[in-house]
Amino acid sequence: MKVLVAPLDWGLGHATRCVPVIREFLNQGAEVELAVVRSNAGLLRGFFPNLRQRMAPSYNIVYPKHGYNMGLWLLKNGAHLNKVIRFERRYADEMVDRFHYDVLVSDNRFGFYSRKAKSVYMTHQRRIAFPPLLSSFEQLGMFWHASVMKHFDEVWVPDIPDFPGYAGSLSHVRKSPVPVRFVGALSRFDLMSVSPAEGAAADSCVPYRFVAVVSGVEPARSRFETLLRQILEKVPGRHAVILGKPSLGVKSWTEGNIDFFTHLDDARFASVVKAAEWVVSRGGYSTVMDMAVLGAKCIFVPTPGQYEQVILSRDLSRAGFAATIGESDLSVKNLLAAISENGNVSLPKPEGGNLLKNAIQGLTIK
């Protein structure tokens, strides 16, 4: 079985959640190649240095100053999106014709399918999140997304089958134009990849009270970093801030009661998070799955304007799985109140790798 995996290039979350998918295909003896763009090629090369990479078309997403939710972005950028989808569609057929792939795996790439290969579409957002003022467009968004999914042979949902799972109302939708498989939490920290060295690192890790994980696009990323600095320096205890800047290498320093890290490799990141009392982070879906796999107690602070994160954080909070605070409400008082009121929160435990394993085993090659 020859497989081409293509993650969307809207941030690195799509690439990181493809890591366990690629690993499982390799575990089952498949020949795997990667369709990448410049922004995610380096990350995937770090995980899979020996896998061939082929350059794919980029969606060239540029976020505005205050961020867009997915629904509004689709409404405003439909023409550009359709142009990329058409080009991507031709690219997928060309790849199958030239290199004879049996399976194409698209992580939210809307046009990455071919009638000449088994085509799998992976998404957690079967229902596109719209803010209240645009709620009348939600059915239109679902209709559009269904029109995308119908071109694929299967839809894989990175979530657990039982509602609310991790993505709540976004992933658990009754109707689908093609068969749907839930493939569990997909994280580069999945239990199958944890090594003894990681366990040893966790044993010796500083037990921080709060670990803040900074991520996202600018300028929201830097604004979040500044806010966390100002708050944590006033909170008793020792804390860590992981800045999410791999381009600066792995550097660390201490300011008062806060240890700063420009970036941490996966083993060290996992050990720091596992040893923390609480993790404060954005509410992106890949982050949610990473935290679930690592067993973290989380306070999610959605990126303003990215309504998907608002919905995810709200649903997880209502289910008792995590706490959430809006960025405009993030303060020393509210942070301490959140941990006092949500001491028993816990994200659902992943169901191992059987869901993903079974999905791959169940592929019937055309």
Q: Are residues 196 and 183 in the same domain?
A: no
Domain total in the chain: 2
Tell me the C-alpha to C-alpha distance, in Å, between residue 153 and each of 116, 126, 176, 177.
11, 15, 11, 10
Q: How far is CA 212 from CA 43, 229, 301, 308, 309, in A?
A: 22, 9, 11, 21, 17
Q: Residue 353's pLDDT is what?
A: 65
DSSP assignment string, 320-348: TS-EE--GGG--HHHHHHHHHH-TT--PP
**Nearest 5 degrees, angle CA 253-CA 255-CA 260?**
45
In this structure, the answer to whether residues 181 and 198 fall within a common structural domain is: no
Within-domain flag for 366: no
Cβ pair 157, 180 in contact under 8 A:
yes
Tell whether 239 is covered by a domain: yes
* Residue 64, Cβ density class (10 Å: 0-12 exposed, 13-18 middle, ≥19 buried): exposed
What's the pLDDT score for residue 254?
A: 96
Amino acid found at 30: A
Q: Domain range spanning residue 27?
A: 2-187+351-361
pTM of the model: 0.86
The dihedral of CA 33, 39, 45, 46: what is its sign?
Answer: negative
118-122 and 258-261 strand pairing: unpaired
Question: Does residue 220 belong to any structural domain of this protein?
Answer: yes
pLDDT at 72: 63
Residue 94 confidence (pLDDT): 97
Considering the domain architecture, whether residues 178 and 274 belong to the same structural domain is answered as no
- What average pLDDT values come out for the chain (366 residues) when binned by 10 residues? 93 88 96 93 92 91 54 68 90 97 96 97 87 75 90 96 88 91 91 44 71 87 95 97 85 96 92 96 93 95 87 92 96 96 90 85 83
In the chain, the N- to C-terminal Cα span, in Å, equals 11
What integer pLDDT is reported at residue 206 of this predicted model?
76
Q: Are residues 141 and 198 in the same domain?
A: no
As a whole number of angstroms, the longest Cα–Cα distance in the chain is: 61
